[in-house]
Structure 1
Amino acid sequence: MKRWTLLLLGFITSTGMLYAQQLTIQAPNRKITVALYSKQTADGSEWYINAVYNTNGKSSVVIPHIGLGLVRNDQDFSKHLKLLKTGMPLLINEKYTALHGKKSVCTNQATEVAAAFENPAKEKLNVIIRVYNDGIAFRYEFPEKKGTFTVKDELTTYSIPSATKRWMEKWNTANEGFYTAMKDDKVLKQEWCYPALFQPEDKSCWFLLHEADVDRNYCGSKLSNTADSSGYKITFPDLQDGKGIGAAAPVITLPWKSPWRVIMMGDLPDIVESTLVDDVSSPSVIQNTGWIKPGLASWNYWSNNHGTQDYKIVNHFTDLAAEMNWPYTLFDWEWDAMGNGGNLEDAVKYALSKGVKPLMWYNSGGPHTDVSATPRDRMLTHESRVAEFAKLKQLGVAGVKIDFFESEKQDMIKYYLDILEDAARAEMMVYFHGCIVPRGWARTYPNLMTYEAVRGAEWYNNSPELTPVAPEHNTVLPFTRNVVGAMDYTPVTFTNSQFPHITSYGHELALSVLFESGIQHMADRPEGYQDLPGAAQSFLKTVPAAWDDTKLLDGYPGQDVIIARRKADTWYIGGISAGQWAKKKTIRFNFLKENTKYKLTLIADGIHDKALTTQYNVIDKSSILEVKLLRSGGFAATIVPVLQ
Structure 2
Amino acid sequence: MKKIFLNRSLSVLIPVVFFVLTSCVAQNEELSLKSKDNLNEINLSLTKDGKLSYKVSRKDKTIIEDSPLGLVFENQDFSSGLSVAKVSAIEEKREQYELKVANNKVIDHVFKSKSITFKNSKDALMTIDLIAGQEGVAFRYKFPEQEKQTRILKNELTGFHIAQNVKGWLQPYNKAGDYTPGYEDFYINVKPGDPINGARGESVGWCMPALFNVNNTQNWILIAESGTDGSFPGCHLDSDSKDGIYRIAFAKNDEKFTLPLADKGIAYPESNLPWTMPWRVIMIGDKAGDILLSTMITDLAPASKIEETSWIVPGKAAWSWWSHPEDFTPEMYKKFTDVSASFGFRYTLFDAGWEKANREGKIIDDALSKGVQPLVWGYSAEYFDADKRKKRFKELAEMGVKGVKIDFWCSDRQEVMATLQSVFEDAAKEHLLVNLHGTTMPRGWHRTWPNFVTAEAILGTESYFYEPRFPEKAAEQNTVLPFTRNVAGPADYTPFALTFRKYTRLNTATHELAMAMIYTSGIIHFADSEEVFNSLPNELKNLLKEMPATWDKTECIIGEPGKALVLSRQKDNLSYIVGINGTNANQTITIDLKKYGKGFSKFRIISEGNDKLMEFKVETYPVTSNWKYSLAPKGGFIIQFIK
Whether TM-score is above 0.5 comes out as yes
- C-alpha deviations, 1:158-210, integer Å up to 9, x for none? 11112111100000210000011012675549511111000015112100000
| Aligned position for 1:137 | 138
The 1:20/1:280 distance shift into structure 2, 3 A limit, reads closer
Does the aligned pair in 1 maintain the 2:193–2:243 contact within 8 Å? no
Does the aligned pair in 2 maintain the 1:221–1:236 contact within 8 Å? yes
Alpha-carbon distance in structure 2 between the residues aligned to 1:574 and 1:155? 42
Does the aligned pair in 2 maintain the 1:162–1:187 contact within 8 Å? no
Correspondences of 1:333-412 after superposition (within 5 Å): 333-338=352-357, 343=359, 346-365=362-381, 377=382, 379-412=383-416
| Aligned position for 1:126 | 127
Matched, 1:79 2:80: yes
* 2:445 aligns with one of 441, 445, 467: 441
Q: CA deviation at 1:505?
A: 1.2
* 1:577 aligns with one of 581, 604, 616: 581
* 2:337 aligns with one of 318, 323, 333: 318
Does the aligned pair in 1 maintain the 2:568–2:596 contact within 8 Å? no
Matched, 1:304 2:324: yes
Does the aligned pair in 2 maintain the 1:11–1:20 contact within 8 Å? yes
Correspondences of 1:443-592 after superposition (within 5 Å): 443-589=447-593, 592=596
| Aligned position for 2:65 | 64
Q: CA deviation at 1:225?
A: 4.0
The 1:8/1:412 distance shift into structure 2, 3 A limit, reads farther
* 1:183 aligns with one of 184, 188, 191: 191
Correspondences of 1:216-231 after superposition (within 5 Å): 216-226=230-240, 228-231=242-245
Does the aligned pair in 1 maintain the 2:579–2:636 contact within 8 Å? yes
Alpha-carbon distance in structure 2 between the residues aligned to 1:89 and 1:576? 44
Q: CA deviation at 1:227?
A: 6.1
Does the aligned pair in 2 maintain the 1:604–1:628 contact within 8 Å? no
Q: CA deviation at 1:464?
A: 2.3
Structure 2 residue matching 1:285: 3-state secondary structure: coil
| Aligned position for 1:202 | 216
| Aligned position for 2:603 | 600
* 2:45 aligns with one of 37, 43, 48: 37
| Aligned position for 1:373 | none
Identity of aligned residues (%): 32
Does the aligned pair in 1 maintain the 2:193–2:240 contact within 8 Å? no
Matched, 1:25 2:26: no
Matched, 1:251 2:255: no
Structure 1 residue matching 2:47: 3-state secondary structure: strand
Where does structure 1 lack aligned partners over 5 or more consecutive residues?
1-6, 13-18, 366-376
Correspondences of 1:257-296 after superposition (within 5 Å): 257-266=276-285, 267-296=287-316
Does the aligned pair in 2 maintain the 1:237–1:407 contact within 8 Å? yes
Does the aligned pair in 1 maintain the 2:193–2:241 contact within 8 Å? no
Correspondences of 1:88-167 after superposition (within 5 Å): 88-147=89-148, 148-167=150-169
Alpha-carbon distance in structure 2 between the residues aligned to 1:74 and 1:591? 61
Q: Which range moves more in the overlay, 575-584 or 473-482? A: 575-584
Output the amino acid matched with 2:602.
Answer: K
The 1:425/1:184 distance shift into structure 2, 3 A limit, reads closer
Alpha-carbon distance in structure 2 between the residues aligned to 1:387 and 1:598? 55
Structure 2 residue matching 1:237: 3-state secondary structure: coil
Q: CA deviation at 1:131?
A: 0.6
Q: CA deviation at 1:237?
A: 0.8
Does the aligned pair in 2 maintain the 1:306–1:334 contact within 8 Å? no
Structure 2 residue matching 1:500: 3-state secondary structure: coil
Q: CA deviation at 1:518?
A: 0.5
Does the aligned pair in 1 maintain the 2:607–2:636 contact within 8 Å? yes
The 1:185/1:219 distance shift into structure 2, 3 A limit, reads closer
Alpha-carbon distance in structure 1 between the residues aligned to 2:420 and 2:392? 16
Does the aligned pair in 2 maintain the 1:604–1:627 contact within 8 Å? no
Does the aligned pair in 2 maintain the 1:512–1:574 contact within 8 Å? no
- C-alpha deviations, 1:552-571, integer Å up to 9, x for none? 11021111111122111322
Structure 2 residue matching 1:277: 3-state secondary structure: helix
Using structure 2 for the length normalisation, give the TM-score. 0.90
- C-alpha deviations, 1:264-320, integer Å up to 9, x for none? 10121210111111110001111121111110111111111122x211111111111
Q: CA deviation at 1:598?
A: 4.5
Output the amino acid matched with 1:37.
Answer: S
Alpha-carbon distance in structure 2 between the residues aligned to 1:275 and 1:326? 28
Q: Tell me which protein shows more helix as a share of its residues.
A: 2
Alpha-carbon distance in structure 2 between the residues aligned to 1:322 and 1:360? 17
Structure 2 residue matching 1:442: 3-state secondary structure: helix
Q: CA deviation at 1:421?
A: 1.0
Output the amino acid matched with 2:440.
Answer: I
Alpha-carbon distance in structure 1 between the residues aligned to 2:419 and 2:196? 33
* 2:434 aligns with one of 424, 430, 450: 430
The 1:597/1:541 distance shift into structure 2, 3 A limit, reads closer
| Aligned position for 1:372 | none
Q: CA deviation at 1:246?
A: 5.4
Does the aligned pair in 2 maintain the 1:81–1:118 contact within 8 Å? yes
Q: CA deviation at 1:25?
A: 1.6
Structure 2 residue matching 1:254: 3-state secondary structure: strand
Output the amino acid matched with 2:85.
Answer: L
Q: Across the two proteins, how many residue pairs are aligned to each other?
A: 603
Does the aligned pair in 1 maintain the 2:41–2:137 contact within 8 Å? no
RMSD after superposition: 2.1
- C-alpha deviations, 1:606-639, integer Å up to 9, x for none? 334133222223437xx23222222110011223
Q: CA deviation at 1:590?
A: 6.9
Alpha-carbon distance in structure 2 between the residues aligned to 1:502 and 1:239? 39
Q: Which has the larger radius of gyration?
A: 2
Structure 2 residue matching 1:301: 3-state secondary structure: coil
Does the aligned pair in 2 maintain the 1:295–1:326 contact within 8 Å? yes
Output the amino acid matched with 2:288.
Answer: L
Alpha-carbon distance in structure 1 between the residues aligned to 2:433 and 2:571? 22
Does the aligned pair in 2 maintain the 1:93–1:110 contact within 8 Å? yes
Q: CA deviation at 1:592?
A: 3.6
| Aligned position for 1:374 | none
Alpha-carbon distance in structure 1 between the residues aligned to 2:439 and 2:393? 21
Alpha-carbon distance in structure 2 between the residues aligned to 1:94 and 1:463? 41
| Aligned position for 2:13 | none
Structure 2 residue matching 1:242: 3-state secondary structure: coil
Output the amino acid matched with 2:232.
Answer: Y
The 1:245/1:174 distance shift into structure 2, 3 A limit, reads farther
Does the aligned pair in 2 maintain the 1:302–1:497 contact within 8 Å? no
Alpha-carbon distance in structure 2 between the residues aligned to 1:151 and 1:184? 27
Using structure 1 for the length normalisation, give the TM-score. 0.90
| Aligned position for 2:177 | none
Where does structure 2 lack aligned partners over 5 or more consecutive residues?
1-20, 175-180, 198-203
Does the aligned pair in 2 maintain the 1:8–1:23 contact within 8 Å? no
